[in-house]
Amino acid sequence: MKRPAFAATIVDPEAGQRFKQIAKDYTFWAFANPNPIRSLKPAAVERLNEIGVPTLIVTAEKDIPACLEIAHQMNQSVENSRMVVMKGTGHLLHMEKPREFNKTLRDFLASVNSPRRDRFEDPEVLNDQ
């Protein structure tokens, strides 16, 4: 990674190499340019308190400070949120610790009310666990 602050958040070199390939294929245009078609008014950050469903916020212990700040702000603003800070990982937490990330997600999903499983019409949806 060319940006030292971001590079410091990559704990697993193999995940870092995979991400470099992903980044190489992506222009990042959207991060550098405003969307000329539309912008949110009011800004999304001003509407976090409108989220009315259980919300999982996953962040990483070694992520850049701005991402950790945003995660804390979201956790304070979203009434029914749960924040998990994954230890020993950085910005690529889902790539560096996929099993822990997936377990965190599965545990959260299991803890919230969900539609009855027998309402799915596609049996493949039920078998894809």
Query: What are the tens digits of pLDDT across the range 15-36?
Result: 888 888 887 777 777 777 777 6
CATH number (domain holding residue 70) = 3.40.50.1820
Q: Under a CB-based contact definition with an 8 Å cutoff, are residues 73 and 82 in contact?
A: no
- Decide if 118 is inside a domain: no
Residue 106 lies in a domain: yes
> What pLDDT does 18 receive?
86
Residue 129 domain-assigned (yes or no): no
Predicted confidence at residue 42, as pLDDT, reads 85
Residue 29: inside a domain: yes
Q: Is residue 48 in some structural domain?
A: yes
In a domain, 125, yes or no: no
Name the 3-class secondary structure at 91: coil
How many domains, the chain? Answer: 1
127 assigned to some structural domain: no
Rg for the chain, CA atoms, rounded: 18
Name 92's Cβ contacts closer than 8 Å, sequence gap at least 6. 9, 10, 11, 12, 15, 16, 19
The domain in which residue 83 lies consists of: 4-113
Torsion, Cα of 109, 73, 30, 37 (10° steps): 90
Cα separation, 64 vs 92, whole angstroms:
11
Lowest mean pLDDT among 4-8, 18-22, 86-90: 4-8
Give the predicted TM-score (pTM) of the model. 0.69
